[in-house]
Chains A and B, each alone.
Chain A
């Protein structure tokens, strides 16, 4: 059956077709929709894990348990999961296992542009790189066969344009795969040094065996054209074809660790000069050069960013399509903003007023607190790092006599991810850093995935709610504050109380994301929120613009009458502006 699928949807369908029985992931752009789609198939037990390491470990466990499994994550998530990945490469699989790594050339929604193909080299894993949705499905079927035939976990590396582009896919039905009966084999599955040394040799032999497969893999092939040669993998193959069409000879690489040296030699016999079109690092280029061939690659094309057709056209041919010239000065940037009613607004409004503080942020919607009008974030490093970074900063400030208080800020999902470990660091080593957990009861930025504190599982079934307050108290903190971040007086007092202490404290702000799907019980917990809206009484408004400073997208100044206005459809009645207005000019009404 032919369908139009994104790469993420095609991976999900491919996993279903390949008989996968277990799937786990932590959301992260551009990988998030993989598991959301896998969860549609009832034959696959699909789960959100607290973080990527746990997701991969669960998938490894399912593989050891005898069934085919899949784990999916964004590129930086593989860093978190690297520990189990490297050693599972030694153990090998029982049921086939595939790890999807979704890289981000161009960094549309990411903090770096790392090239995860090096993980395949470094961990000695077979690797596939699909170039469209059809190949996502086809290569996944092959990947499970390769995983079981060569006894290796497989890395499938995709990129944003693969994940989030739709193309036509010919799909088929699910092929059930019988579970392998569990067998105790510590010499293979228990990596103490003695067994690990023995497995090290097995891994080497496996790479030699795979070096034969890569020469005959149906996903590595030459397309004969002219005397100019182009080598590409992934989306770069289609980007290159857009520019060069049938005029050049292509070496299309789909199985990319190990790479096919024999096929490369054959390709070089057919062409006079070679261009390597690849995003991120010169992965293919370094290999080609190591084989003793000359080529044009990163010396000709940009060293980073996406190699879209216009980029290739300009770099290789010196050509640009004519474009319309216009007055760019008229265009104002449109950065993402915290939504109307976002519970982070009241928090950042008050946080932005504090003096002599260093604010260590983290990854989520609340990272937007760095932007105007709040400017209330000084650093943001990685998932779960806010508290440990704040701890180190505080130690440095105290050691060097600087009068600065470190405040760590992260969200509920990030707390469960790895923030909980960072909080242990403060509880154990005892700096006076202030830690804030913004609990909006959902994983917001990546599109509302459930987490251990949200009350639901991936499929929507109810789940026990891990109570953040209880966890924090169990870690032994003496000073723990719970506050409604929409109550800016309470927020202000909580900051004052925490800053007055000469030891660590934890602040938990609790209010749901206004976009969260809630049942009656959860709505009841918060007094049926988001059912009111705020309106400006134009007679009372003096046009002082104080309310505008809370940065709500529903609020604006009507310049003609010099009064504030509230966009009725957007407003959900969070009340932050009501409390800010010095003239009580903002009233509430039922939506």
Chain B
């Protein structure tokens, strides 16, 4: 059975590296894997998504509406924006962190304080994590993406894969230990 993981966030938050490590781990443990991203204008602070699918034989690299087994959102409002892609009985992990879109920054729209409540009311299996704070505690806010990768690994029962070895092979030398710690922290959060 093909599994679908949807990672969403805001351009620059590191969804691409997280999904890259995820796909490498899945491939090395023998799954067929496909991943789809949309680049282009999204890198200018827009809404971004990485779609990862794995199983015995994967056809579409794209997750359909109502098709994601798990939604990992790097930002709170993005979780709501992409919620229609989550299976009705799917799981969600949401980074409890707010990045204001331009209409909010320029004062023509509000970032509602009801978003967290709406998510909690609509998704039965949802976990809010403070990935930004966790990353800061580890010494570098940028590793919030690997903290969140850790939550995926735990939620999707992928702990048998040697993620530390994958991080060691894929991440710049000076950042290996930091990223390994971030992954371990993510595993503890869910």
Contact = CB atoms under 8 A, between A and B. Distances in A.
A166 B106 contact: no
Contacts of A333: 101, 103
Most chain B beta carbons < 10 A, residue from A164, A241, A313: A164
A320 B87 CA distance: 12
A167 B61 contact: yes
A323 B61 contact: no
A447 B45 contact: no
Nearest to B141: A569
Interface string A1-43: 0101000000000000000000000000110000000000000
B73 to A, nearest CB: 12
B45 A166 contact: no
B85 to A, nearest CB: 8
A309 B65 CA distance: 9
Given A238-B60, A335-B102, A337-B44, A324 B24 contact: no
Main secondary structure of the interface of B (DSSP, over half): mixed
A321 B34 CA distance: 21
Given A330-B118, A331-B81, A335-B102, A165 B34 contact: yes
Interface string B71-108: 00000011011011111100000000000111111111
A445 interface: yes
A337 B46 CA distance: 7
B40 A108 contact: yes
A242 B88 contact: no
A44 to B, nearest CB: 23
A206 interface: no
Main secondary structure of the interface of A (DSSP, over half): loop
A109 B65 contact: no
A553 B64 CA distance: 32
A318 interface: no
B112 interface: yes
Nearest to B40: A109
B117 to A, nearest CB: 10
B42 interface: yes
Contacts of A141: none
Interface in A420-477: 445-447
A321 B87 contact: yes
A446 B44 CA distance: 11
Given A161-B61, A165-B61, A166-B33, A549 B106 contact: yes
B27 interface: yes
Nearest to A164: B37
B47 A334 contact: yes
Given A164-B39, A313-B64, A334 B45 contact: yes
A60 to B, nearest CB: 28
A373 B45 CA distance: 16
Contacts of B133: none
B109 interface: yes
A500 B87 CA distance: 61
B162 interface: no
Interface string B8-44: 0011000000000001100100001111111111111
Contacts of A371: 102
Contact of A108 (B38, B78, B110): B38
A483 interface: no
A261 interface: no
Given A308-B64, A330-B114, A337 B45 contact: yes
A323 B68 CA distance: 10
Most chain A beta carbons < 10 A, residue from B42, B59, B123: B59
Contact of A320 (B65, B102, B103, B109): B65
A339 B115 CA distance: 26
Interface of B: 10-11, 23-24, 27, 32-47, 58-62, 64-67, 77-78, 80-81, 83-88, 100-112, 114-115, 118, 122-123, 141
Interface of A: 2, 4, 29-30, 108-109, 132, 160-161, 164-168, 235, 238-239, 241-242, 306, 308-310, 313, 320-327, 330-339, 365, 368, 371-373, 445-447, 545, 548-549, 551, 553, 555-557, 569
Instruction: Give me the 3 closest cross-chain CB pairs, A-B, nearest first.
Output: A109-B40, A321-B66, A336-B44
Given A108-B38, A332-B109, A447-B43, 7 more contacts: A4-B27, A109-B40, A160-B38, A242-B60, A321-B66, A323-B65, A326-B80
